[in-house]
């Protein structure tokens, strides 16, 4: 009987933090849901325009980085060979 009482006390002691954590998580998720409902989502037209702008920007940055890589490669590979040959 004593062992059963100790086991029951341990179970109660273990479940309290679990229930408290579950309650906090549920409260947090409820707040997240309320905040998501407040968000003003973009229209499909706005989303498409933004996507096009981002794609163009990424392409331009890719071209700039490629050109810089090409120029620096030429300078670092061919220039020392020309200077010291």
**pLDDT digit string, tens, across residues 5-54:** 778 777 767 666 666 667 888 888 999 999 999 999 999 999 999 999 99
**In the structure encoding, which two tokens stand for residue 83, read together?**
């200077």
**Is residue 14 located within the same domain as residue 48?**
no
pLDDT at 7: 80
pTM above 0.85, yes or no: no
Whether 15 and 22 have beta carbons less than 8 Å apart is answered as: no
**Is residue 15 located within the same domain as residue 29?**
yes
**Is residue 48 located within the same domain as residue 80?**
yes
**Cβ partners under 8 Å of residue 42, min gap 6:** 50
**Is residue 32 located within the same domain as residue 62?**
no
**Is residue 31 located within the same domain as residue 46?**
no
Based on the structure, what is the number of domains in the chain?
Answer: 2
**Is residue 25 located within the same domain as residue 3?**
yes
**Is residue 72 located within the same domain as residue 55?**
yes
Band of pLDDT at residue 1, cut at 50, 70 and 90: low
Domain range for 11:
1-39
CA atoms within 13 A on the CB side of 24: 6
């Amino acid at each position: 009987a004593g062992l059963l009482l100790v086991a029951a006390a341990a179970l109660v002691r273990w479940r309290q933090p679990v229930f408290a954590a579950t309650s906090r998580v549920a409260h947090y998720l409820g707040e997240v849901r309320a905040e998501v409902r407040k968000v003003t989502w973009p229209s499909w037209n706005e989303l498409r325009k933004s996507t096009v702008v981002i794609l163009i920007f990424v392409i331009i940055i890719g071209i700039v980085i490629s050109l810089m890589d090409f120029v620096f490669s030429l300078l670092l590979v061919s220039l020392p060979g020309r200077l010291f040959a």
